[in-house]
């Protein structure tokens, strides 16, 4: 679920000198980091109705029609909170709530009431009516935990619903689909 990783650089934008209400200071242009294979160093663009930066608490809160994009992945939510470590200023976790939708650069899609991303553990947790799908294959549960570095996931049912999964056999018989990058994210077949 690299789609949730699109918020990795959000706090950098919120805490950068350009985002602060101070007079701009001229400085030499730094070379951009080269994008890695997983897209983690790619620039992040976040659009929302409001941004509140609570620097002492290490928290940036985006509210209202939040759209975060990175390396052809997209995340939508009503609210996105980005928590950082006070000493290192690195992102510890990101919590997105309300109408959470993700589209990864490899065209996996997901929805949930809430999404939590833990950077150190490279773990994403979709909570509340969680659903992940690609093409016709779909899995649903109350909670879906995705371990990004291990390429594995855990799907848990809730009190009212059990885990449901639909997998179509003969995936190798299907024609390969090319995923193209579009201006608004991946163009999924």
The series of mean pLDDT values per 10 residues for the chain, 189 residues long, is: 35 37 43 46 82 93 92 89 87 92 83 92 91 92 88 90 89 55 61
For tokens 């950068």, what's the residue? 16
Q: Is residue 26 part of a domain?
A: no
Residue 29 falls inside a structural domain: no
Listed in sequence order, the residues at least 6 apart from 73 whose beta carbon sits closer than 8 Å to its beta carbon are 2, 3, 5, 6, 39, 102, 103, 104, 105, 185, 186
Q: Residue 189's pLDDT is what?
A: 56
Would you state the pLDDT for residue 125? Answer: 93
Residue 161, in any domain of the structure: yes
Tell me, what's the pLDDT at 9?
Answer: 34
CATH number at residue 13: 2.60.450.10
Rounded Cα distance between 133 and 153, Å, is 13
What pLDDT is recorded for position 149?
Answer: 79
Is residue 151 assigned to a domain?
Answer: yes
> Is residue 139 within 8 Å of 165, Cβ to Cβ?
yes
pLDDT the model gives residue 165: 93
Residue 6, domain member (yes or no): yes
* Cα separation values, 159 from 51, 75, 142, Å: 36, 28, 9
The full DSSP string for 97-131 is: EEEEEEE-TTS-EEEEEEEEEETTTTEEEEEEEEE
For residues 60 and 51, is the Cβ–Cβ distance under 8 A?
yes
The model carries a pTM of 0.70
Confirm whether 61 is domain-assigned: yes
Contact criterion met (CB below 8 Å) for 90 and 84: yes
Residue 49 within any structural domain of the chain: yes
Do residues 52 and 61 touch, judged by C-beta distance below 8 A?
yes
Q: Which domain holds residue 128?
A: 2-18+35-187
Q: Which two tokens stand for residue 137?
A: 């294959």
30 falls within a domain: no
Domain count, the chain: 1
State the burial class of residue 53 (Cβ atoms within 10 Å of its Cβ: 0-12, 13-18, 19+): middle
């Amino acid at each position: 679920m690299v789609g949730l990783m699109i918020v990795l650089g959000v706090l950098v934008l919120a805490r950068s000198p350009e985002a602060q209400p101070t007079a701009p200071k001229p400085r030499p242009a730094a070379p951009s980091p080269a994008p890695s294979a997983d897209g983690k160093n790619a620039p992040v663009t976040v659009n929302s109705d409001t941004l509140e930066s609570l620097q002492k608490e290490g928290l940036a809160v985006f509210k209202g029609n939040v759209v975060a994009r990175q390396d052809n992945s997209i995340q939508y939510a009503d609210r996105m909170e980005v928590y950082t470590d006070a000493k290192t200023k690195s992102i510890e976790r990101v919590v997105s709530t309300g109408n959470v939708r993700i589209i990864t650069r490899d065209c996996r899609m997901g929805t949930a009431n809430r999404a939590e991303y833990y950077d150190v553990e490279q773990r994403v947790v979709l909570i509340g009516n969680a659903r992940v799908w690609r093409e016709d294959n779909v899995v649903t549960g109350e909670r879906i935990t995705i371990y990004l570095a291990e390429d594995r996931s855990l799907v848990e049912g809730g009190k009212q619903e059990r885990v449901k999964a639909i997998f179509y056999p003969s995936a190798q018989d299907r024609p390969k689909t090319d995923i193209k990058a579009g201006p608004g994210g991946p163009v999924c077949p």
